[in-house]
Copies of this chain bind each other. A is one copy, B any other.
Amino acid sequence: MQPASPLVQRIAILGVGLIGGSLAAALKRVGAVAQVAGYSPNDDARVARALGHVDVACDSVAEAVAGASFVVLAAPVTAMPELFAQLRDALEPRAIVTDCGSTKRSVIDAARRALGDAFLRYVPGHPIAGSEHSGPQAADPDLFRDRRWLLCPVETTPQQHCEAVRRLVETVGAQVSTLDPALHDRVFAEASHWPHAVAFGLSAAIAGGELAEQALEFSGAGLRDTTRVGASSPAMWADILLDNRDACLASAARFRASNEAIVAALEAGDRDALVEIFSAASRWRNRLG
């Protein structure tokens, strides 16, 4: 994967927490980029610089973006509109913009409102990688290896810009595929956003119960896995769920029906009904591998 010479002279990564920091570290390790400039509104960029993930920690979006032929937004979805707005006048004339947001429709709308003509050089993206940890300290250059990296172009996005993003992220081991933005948001509500809410909800129920301490003491691997993403950033996940609210509420309604059916079967002592629900669950889950 090591390119003979850098694909990109300078890349600007706006937001250098877990995702942006990992991308920076991975691009530097593989030699795909000559210079990685990081910006964050907090201390993350300086921490990422101290850890060697980025070459330059910038104090503004304009400073980071100057001279960059690639700009990657790796910030929480709620921070995207402001970043796009700051980008507009600083962007180099041929620079390509992409993002790593967990939702796509709202980020695309924000880009469309802010970028003007440069919207044609924006490729919506979403690496399917993460961790319950956050911040540049948690960055891992192997985070994207063998993980999918989705591109969600709109009708007007030029194919050549998608290819440019693909070539870049393939250097860090990601496998690129494309998905319609609206379908993306429904699929991720179902496969990621609402499941995070379930893990938070289960953890909150145990935390607020009278057995919270004993549950910690006597937990096994099952509880640790079921609740793992319940340790994720509360604010970030509140924002993602709110950003993708309609799709998440649809997933929530399906989950509520399934949960109520289990409670009803348990109350009624209806073993056949429980086994039927659990079997449908288990057949699907076994296909997940």
Contacts and interface: CB of A to CB of B under 8 A. Distances in A.
Interface string A182-220: 010011101110011111111111111101101110111
B281 A203 contact: yes
Interface residues of A, number: 91
Nearest to A274: B238
A1 interface: no
Contacts of A168: none
A256 B266 contact: no
Contacts of A285: 199, 203, 207, 227-228, 230-231
Contact of A266 (B249, B254, B261): B249
A207 B248 contact: no
Contact of A202 (B195, B214, B261, B267): B195
A176 to B, nearest CB: 13
Interface in A230-286: 230-235, 237-239, 241-242, 245, 248-249, 251-252, 254-259, 261-263, 266-267, 269, 271, 274-275, 277-286
A276 to B, nearest CB: 8
Contacts of A67: none
A94 interface: no
A231 B283 CA distance: 7
Contacts of A225: 225-226, 228-229
B200 A284 contact: no
A130 interface: yes
The A interface is mostly helix, strand or loop, or mixed, namely helix
Q: Can you tell how many copies of this chain the complex includes? A: 2
B282 A200 contact: yes
Given A183-B214, A201-B277, A252-B262, 13 more contacts: A129-B220, A191-B214, A197-B266, A198-B198, A201-B258, A204-B281, A205-B251, A212-B284, A222-B229, A225-B226, A226-B226, A235-B275, A252-B266
20 contacts: A183-B214, A187-B215, A190-B211, A192-B220, A200-B278, A202-B255, A202-B281, A203-B281, A204-B258, A204-B278, A204-B281, A216-B288, A227-B285, A227-B288, A242-B266, A242-B274, A245-B266, A252-B262, A252-B263, A259-B259
